Amino acid sequence: MTRMRRLAAGVVLAFAVQSTPSCLLVEYSDHLVDERTRGNFVTQPASIGGLLGFIIGIPIDIVGLPITYPIYRLNKSEGEENLDPLSTLLFPSFVLWRTGVLVIGAPLDLLEFTFYRAWQRPSVRELPELEIDELRPAGQDRSEDEQRLPSTSLDSTGQGTGAP
């Protein structure tokens, strides 16, 4: 009976992994280690899990080098000029890095969301606005950006005139 339960759990897990687009998992793992979107309760252990996953993957990278190096050379010879050798040669470490972040960070994220973030007011500022603030030079404030945006005024019919 336990074999059937294990098989059923394996099938459910395989279906869940296959039905989830990989780009969502990568984006979610980025959010788990981003201090702007998660608290230290999640980011610190998730970062440690990612580091451990990467370290565990290094011996696998060395063993897999006879496979990954010809793949890299083949892609390079086909004209992929922007091909990053590290992303191909260290592929197992990168996969285990993301896996470590997800395995440790996702349960903690669920706990933090259930007991903390779900009860807090949502932030007025969203992630794209926070990223823009990081790119803005230190001496420039938000009012300078708002002054550069064209404004429109409404005429008596409620249509925009296009004039400031």
Whether 59 and 136 have beta carbons less than 8 Å apart is answered as no
* 17 is a domain residue: no
* 133 is a domain residue: no
* 40 is a domain residue: yes
The verdict on pTM exceeding 0.75 is no
The chain-wide mean pLDDT, for the chain, equals 78
Tokens of 88: 């191909």
- Give the pLDDT confidence score for residue 74 in this predicted structure: 87
* 28 is a domain residue: yes
What is the domain range of residue 77?
A: 24-117
* 38 is a domain residue: yes
Three-class DSSP category at 154: strand
Whether 130 and 122 have beta carbons less than 8 Å apart is answered as no
- For 8-25, the pLDDT digits (tens) are 777 776 766 666 676 788
Whether 48 and 121 have beta carbons less than 8 Å apart is answered as no
- Give the pLDDT confidence score for residue 149 in this predicted structure: 46
- For 35-66, the pLDDT digits (tens) are 888 889 999 999 999 999 999 999 999 999 99
Tokens of 33: 């280690």
